[in-house]
Structure 1
Amino acid sequence: MLKALIIDDKPANINTLVKLVEMYCPQLSICATCRNIKEGYIAILKLQPALIFLDIEMPDGNGFDLFQRFERLPFEVIFTTAYDQYAVQAFRENALDYLMKPIDIEALQHAVAKAQEKASLVHNNDRLEQYLSQLRTPVPSKVSIPVLDGYLFINHQDIIRCEASGSYSHFFMVDGKKLVVSLRLKECEHMLPEKFFFGYIIPI
């Protein structure tokens, strides 16, 4: 579920939008509503919403003033306004959508669907970047494992698999040997590099 924030100086507009979101956009959660740019900026820093519904003409400033407070917007913006003359500027500022008041339900749903799609892409890109970062991180070639008569330093590439055996674990090696390790399997899982090992349960 995406967190959304509403910034609008008119309570009636806020209430209407909140009701429309609750009725027609269940994938959104309104985390806060604000009456001006200053309140909105503080709420963004505190709550870190993924989506902002932003009015343009407000007594304390223009909705575009919010853009100037961020070097890079960490959220998507859907403008909600009664004025059509700002549409070109809105899209130049990379707004996700531009909804005219009174807000059309289908247009709202379409805009929210775009926000959800972009959030999914960002999430997947972050996961990919995290994975690539792990691949770029050097992995120690050897690990120290406690065996019954001391410690062994072995190359993780020489390990085929590990199996649980009560409070011990069995390491099956490429040379055919089986080592008894005085660690539970969960502890072994944390010790071995994630790039090369993963856990699974064999059905009996």
Structure 2
Amino acid sequence: MKAIIVDDERLARNELKRLLENFPSIEVIGEAANTDEASQLIEELQPDVVFLDIQMPGKTGFEWLEEWDGFLPEIIFTTAFDEYALKAFEVNALDYVLKPIELARLSESIQKLESRFQRPASTEKSVTANHVLGGNDQIFVKDGEKCWFVRLDRVRLCESMGNYVRLFFDDQKPLVLKSLNSLEERLDPKLFFRCNRKHIVNLNFIEKIEPWFSGGLQVTLKGEKAEKIEISRRQSIRFKELLSL
């Protein structure tokens, strides 16, 4: 797995690189001292994971994530401050590791990362064969004591809620323990569109499209709730290409 380290302290980057040498599955392919450098590296190198500091000159790690609308790898925060842990998981971070980083704690993060990218060889073929789910497919959803068996073409919106995704269908909105990225991989891209880092919409539920700030778009969904979802500037380009003649 390809990794990038983003930290304004050179000694901290060097120490993390040294620790990561203990894990043959990780290859550090770049490092950045700030978020501007990080953006360029991610676009050029397409890493699998970013080890991201929070407090840096210019933009903080959180500010950068809020603005970033391109390809986003897995994020592991590395920081000396423990008060940001809850917020880290609200932005779908894979893990949150406190400095000074201990090898045992880093090993836990790498195990989480490996579990995201590795599948047992015996099941890989069957998972791939059933990878994409279309509108006619039915899914089983359980949230607490409630259960649903729902066709995907009834799901109008998927919203990231930290380590969970909230599904919106009819007047229901259960939570499922799944990341938005992993859900996106299973959904038919002809029916479901990734609008931004937090939302996937069912294209058949879009009722209105309006220009929005910074070159983006805003869509309004059908139904009593009429949810309004922003399409980021980068995704707006894809959206227009997808729906144009």
Normalised to the residue count of structure 2, the TM-score between the two structures is: 0.49
Identify, as 1 or 2, the structure richer in helix: 1
- Equivalent position of 1:21 in the other structure: 20
Contact 1:6 1:14 in 2 (8 A): yes
Q: Could you say which structure has the larger radius of gyration?
A: 1
Contact 1:37 1:65 in 2 (8 A): no
**Distance change (3 Å), C-alpha of 1:57 and 1:128:** farther
For 2:90 and 2:126, locate their aligned partners in 1 and report how far apart those are by CA, in whole Å.
Answer: 29
For 1:58 and 1:4, locate their aligned partners in 2 and report how far apart those are by CA, in whole Å.
Answer: 19
* Secondary structure of residue in 2 paired with 1:57: coil
CA-to-partner distance for each residue in 1:72-95, whole Å, 9 max, x for gaps?
Answer: 763111100011111110011111
Calculate the aligned-residue CA RMSD, in Å: 2.8
CA-to-partner distance for each residue in 1:7-66, whole Å, 9 max, x for gaps?
Answer: 0000000000000101x2121000001000010011001101101100000011110123
* Secondary structure of residue in 1 paired with 2:18: helix
**Distance change (3 Å), C-alpha of 1:129 and 1:42:** farther
Does residue 47 of the first structure (1) align with residue 48 of the second (2)?
Answer: no
Q: Among 26, 29, 33, which residue is 2:31 paired with?
A: 33
**Distance change (3 Å), C-alpha of 1:132 and 1:93:** same
For 1:36 and 1:10, locate their aligned partners in 2 and report how far apart those are by CA, in whole Å.
Answer: 10
**Distance change (3 Å), C-alpha of 1:41 and 1:131:** same
Normalised to the residue count of structure 1, the TM-score between the two structures is: 0.58
**Letter paired with 1:11:** R
**Letter paired with 1:10:** E
For 1:72 and 1:129, locate their aligned partners in 2 and report how far apart those are by CA, in whole Å.
Answer: 27
Q: Among 113, 133, 154, which residue is 1:115 paired with?
A: 113
* Secondary structure of residue in 2 paired with 1:58: coil
Contact 1:7 1:53 in 2 (8 A): yes
* Secondary structure of residue in 2 paired with 1:94: coil
**Letter paired with 2:85:** A
For 1:125 and 1:63, locate their aligned partners in 2 and report how far apart those are by CA, in whole Å.
Answer: 36
- Equivalent position of 1:10 in the other structure: 9
Seq. identity, % = 34
**Distance change (3 Å), C-alpha of 1:126 and 1:41:** farther
* Secondary structure of residue in 1 paired with 2:118: helix
Does residue 61 of the first structure (1) align with residue 59 of the second (2)?
Answer: yes
For 2:51 and 2:20, locate their aligned partners in 1 and report how far apart those are by CA, in whole Å.
Answer: 11
